[in-house]
Amino acid sequence: MVREIGVLWAQHVPVPFPDVPSSERDDLVELNAALADCVSAYLRNNGTAGSGHKATLLRCLRKLRRHLERHLGYPSPFHDAYDYHRRLLKVTELLVNDAFPFTADTQDKG
């Protein structure tokens, strides 16, 4: 799984941050930074998540899903933002599933 996440991350990193609704920009920038830290640590540690990253990843997953559903989904003029954050969501979901095998506390609680 580390290799697959590494490939997806390598495809994601060079893509410039997209245009997003101004009301959501600060939150999305913060989400991107937090997730970049978690993914980078996971890859650097060969598939081991950084200390304390579980709570950050789960919090960011919920927030990212909410943004995709409410602010970036159809209909929306922010197609590039949807694609960008959907890819980030996929990387994050794969990382969580690999680093933290399914338990009651990794379930999405909305």
pLDDT tens, position by position, 42-54: 999 999 998 889 9
Among residues 69, 64, 37, 66, the alpha carbon closest in space to that of 53 is found at 37
Which residue, chain included where needed, has tokens 């933290």?
Answer: 100
pLDDT tens, position by position, 87-106: 999 999 999 999 988 754 54
**Domain coordinates in residue numbering, the chain:** 2-12+32-104
pTM listed for this prediction: 0.85
CA distance 60 to 65: 8
pLDDT tens, position by position, 4-42: 999 999 999 999 999 998 999 999 999 999 999 999 999
